[in-house]
Amino acid sequence: MENSWLKATAVARENPDHLVIGSDTVVAYRGQIYGKPRDLDEAIRMLTELNGSRHTVISGVAVVGIHADIEFAFADTTQVMMKTLHHDELSEYVHLTKPLDKAGAYAIQEFGDRIIQSIDGSFNNVMGFPTELFLQKWNHYIVPSECPNWIS
């Protein structure tokens, strides 16, 4: 949530008349946090460590509206079970996708069926934005008259 908060507040300071939504996603496994890999070697290392594991995808979201005096943040978690794959299958996946902009070096929406066995929780959260929980929080914190064009 801290990263999403930092992103949202930085943009909101530059755009005080707008509502700004910041989001950040990480993968957690055995006490380690996996963000975006720096290069393809690190992507393969991450996937090798996550290989055959049940791990957690966490997305933090922050909403900031300076002039509207709106601030709230939350996080959602989804459990992901990764298939057990051979090194050459992981390498092929890395070369099929763009892992450098994805937490944990994978994307469920991008050939995810090759590496993901199952999920317990929000598919959208694993994609990087927990839309279901976002709508619940939005409808809790935002008064419809404040955003007349919003469709809930």
* Residue 19, φ and ψ in degrees, nearest 5: -85, 130
| Both structure tokens of 40 | 């393809």
Helix or strand or coil: residue 50? helix
Strands 32-34 and 54-65: unpaired
* Residues catalogued as catalytic: 24
56 closest CA partner among 77, 35, 33: 77
- Residue 69's CB: how many other CB atoms inside 10 A? 7
Helix or strand or coil: residue 6? helix
Q: What single letter denotes the amino acid at residue 112?
A: G
Query: Residue 124, Cα to own-chain centre: how many angstroms?
Result: 8
